[in-house]
Structure 1
Amino acid sequence: MTEATEQFFASLPARAPEILRTPIGGALRIELSDGHRTEHWLVRMGPGTAEVSQDPEPADAVWYCSVDLFDRLVTGRAQALAALFRNESTYTGNVVLLLAFRRFFPPPPGTRDPRDVAREHVRQKR
């Protein structure tokens, strides 16, 4: 597993209050494979909370992903739904958990909030 992935999972509990604002609840198991071995990550999500462990317990949904793809996701170089549509990863279970979880991933490098761009444009016109 990469350092970026480890840091990503370590940051989830602290970031959950700002990201998980909707009434969501459930456990998402993420299976990260490098071809020879699989790492299990369990993320239990609730409104404003996320608990992370590496227990291979049953979950409401399971996401199967390569270590390389997940590293690209946590660094903003790939998008979760696009990867699923391209069959680069697979997902079973409650899709609402994936839709909530993907909000933890950063935007692509160089992406800017359109509101910031508009504010800068207005400042330049003055």
Structure 2
Amino acid sequence: MTAFSAFFEQLRGVGSDPRFCKVRGTVRFDIRDGDRVEQWLLDIDHGRLRVTRGADPAGTVITTSAEVADVMARGELNGLAAIMRGEILVDGDLGLALRIGRLFPVPPAAQRQAVPHRGGK
């Protein structure tokens, strides 16, 4: 099982996330590995998360390689940076795609930056 598949299997069990209480939409992830495409559908309804597999239509489609998806699922890649470099393509609601980034682990460098400095002057 890939890191990305494991991430979505874990997310499937979450059920809800209060950070998305005002969000409603569907996002499909198309993960390309050569000629093969793995597809995951995330349906968000005011905080309720439902994860399924398949090619159902979605308001937002995120496409990337299996390699990039796995690195992101392990928390080793910032999704916004990957979008800016063209490693992740977004078709649909970019704002929703960026919000989805909150579900992924935070890269270690970003965690260090988020910790406030407690030193003296």
TM class, shorter-length: 0.7 to 0.9
Deviations 1:36-70 (A, max 9, x none): 20011100012221111112111001111101101
Higher helix share: 1
Aligned to 2:17: 17
What letter corresponds to residue 19 of structure 1 in structure 2?
R
What letter corresponds to residue 51 of structure 1 in structure 2?
R
How does the TM-score come out when normalised to structure 1?
0.81
Report the count of equivalent residues: 117
CA-CA distance at 1:114 after TM superposition = 1.6
Gaps (5+ residues) in structure 1? none
Q: How far apart in 1 are the matches of 2:15 and 2:107?
A: 18
CA-CA distance at 1:15 after TM superposition = 6.7
Aligned to 1:99: 98
How does the TM-score come out when normalised to structure 2?
0.84
Gaps (5+ residues) in structure 2? none
Higher strand share: 2
Which protein is bigger by CA-based radius of gyration?
1
Moved more, 6-15 or 91-100: 6-15
What letter corresponds to residue 42 of structure 1 in structure 2?
L
Aligned to 2:44: 45
Aligned to 2:55: 56
Contact 1:5-1:74 within 8 A present in 2 as well: yes
Q: Considering only aligned residues, what root-mean-square deviation do their CA atoms show, in Å?
A: 2.0
Contact 1:61-1:92 within 8 A present in 2 as well: yes
Aligned to 1:26: 25
Evaluate the alpha carbon distance shift between residue 7 and residue 19 of structure 1 in structure 2; reply closer, same or farther with a 3 A threshold.
farther
Q: The residue matched to 2:108 in structure 1 has which SS?
A: coil
